[in-house]
Structure formats: structure tokens, C-alpha cells
Amino acid sequence: MKLIDILVLELPKRGGWNDDAWMVVQDCDGQFKGVEKGFAAAMAPNGVWHRSGGDCVFIHTVPLADDYKTAMVTREEYEAALAASKVPVWSGEGLPPVGASCEWYDRNTKTWSPVKVVYSSEWVVVVSGADSNGDVVELGIEVFMDAERCKFRPIRTEAERKREETVNAIQQKLICRNEVAVDFYEYLAAGKIPGIRLTDDAGSQ
């Protein structure tokens, strides 16, 4: 586990961030050490961080980070990671919870768009996302008795997006069902056609 992950796990239980520190490091004994603004730190061969001034001891006896010899976590990095850890993780089952980032299928444009859920009930889900001009807007999506308007899915990875783009291109070119396009893509990705090989992240092996 990395130092920033341990900080997110341990600090909230132990009083939070020390206001005197702008950065935190960890000694080989598991002790967090804070460094005041304007000072630097470097690790000695004995596994102890030496600071040019401004010690701010946090806590003792915590798991040793995998990257303790090099990791230096600033307050801004810690707070960003802490906020990210509180964002709900949606499995893809049912409706996404409030606060979750996901993709919504717009049946008018027939495209998937990244959105964040800001309100949810059995009648309506309100999401925020960028419109065609790049402005952030909120949209109410009726979910009761209207399954076509409430299609959500987890955020696609870059590889998944490239795969989807390739499948769509195959489907449009061959004028075939999506299932056929997916099968053809998988056949290409597996390198089963001599002389043809997908080379990007969507299909490279």
C-alpha cells in the first residue's frame, strides 16, 4: 500500500492532518513525520527522513508504506485523495447512487455521456454533465415507467472506449447486428486473421 493510501486510511481516525505541516513522509519504523512549509526532507541510509527544519510528528505504529523511502505527500494531494475515497463506487447494478460518476445513454443522440448523479428517487434521477458547448448543466431523467431514459453504466476505461468505437465502426461498415460486430472484433483482437492485427490498447495482446 502506498503512503498516500495509508494516510487516507489512518489520519481521519487520529485527528486528521497536522495544520503545521505542508508535507508528510514516513520513517522506516512506520512513524509519520510532517515537514513545515519552506523546509525540505531527504531519506538517510538508515531509513530515517532528515528534515532541514520544522518537525511535525503525526502518529506512531502504522503499516509501513511500500514507497516510504521516496514518498512525500502534500496536504493538497492528501485532501484530493481523501475526497476521492468518499465518492460512492457503483457496481453497475440498479440505479447509480447520489455522488457516483457514471455514463448515461441519451436516446435522442444515441450516445453515452459522462455524468454525476446529484439526486435520485423512484421517480427521477438528476445528473450533471457537460452540454455540447462544454457548459455544466443539470438534467432530470424520468425513471418511473420509462426504462429507455434510465440507462446507466460505469465509466468506461480508455481500452473499453476504443473497443466500443471499433465495434461501432465494424457494425456501421458491415451493416450488421451489434452481436455480429462484437464477435468479429473479438476474432480480430485474438489475431485469428493472418496478416491483420489490432495494435492499439483496445485490441493489442
What does each of the 205 residues of the chain score in pLDDT, given as a tens digit?
999 999 999 999 888 898 888 899 998 888 888 888 888 888 888 888 887 665 666 656 688 999 999 999 999 999 999 988 887 778 888 889 998 889 998 888 888 889 999 998 888 899 999 887 888 899 988 887 666 668 899 887 777 777 777 777 777 767 677 777 777 777 677 666 665 666 654 444 4
DSSP single-letter state for residue 148: G
Confirm if 38 and 104 have CB atoms less than 8 A apart.
no
Q: What is the pLDDT of residue 82?
A: 93
CA–CA separation, 140 and 147 (whole Å): 14
Say whether 7 sits in a helix, a strand or coil: helix
| Rg (the chain; Cα; Å) | 24
CA of residue 127 relative to chain centroid, distance: 18
Domain boundaries, the chain: 3-85, 101-154, 157-205
Q: Which three cell numbers stand for residue 39?
A: 523546509
Q: What is the pLDDT of residue 203?
A: 44
Amino acid letter for position 174: L
CA–CA separation, 89 and 54 (whole Å): 38
Q: Which three cell numbers stand for residue 28?
A: 522506516
pTM above 0.85, yes or no: no
Q: Which three cell numbers stand for residue 45?
A: 541510509
CA–CA separation, 92 and 95 (whole Å): 8
Longest CA pairwise span in the chain (Å): 69
Q: What is the pLDDT of residue 202?
A: 44
pLDDT tens digits for range 151-191 = 899 887 777 777 777 777 777 767 677 777 777 777 677 66
DSSP single-letter state for residue 155: P
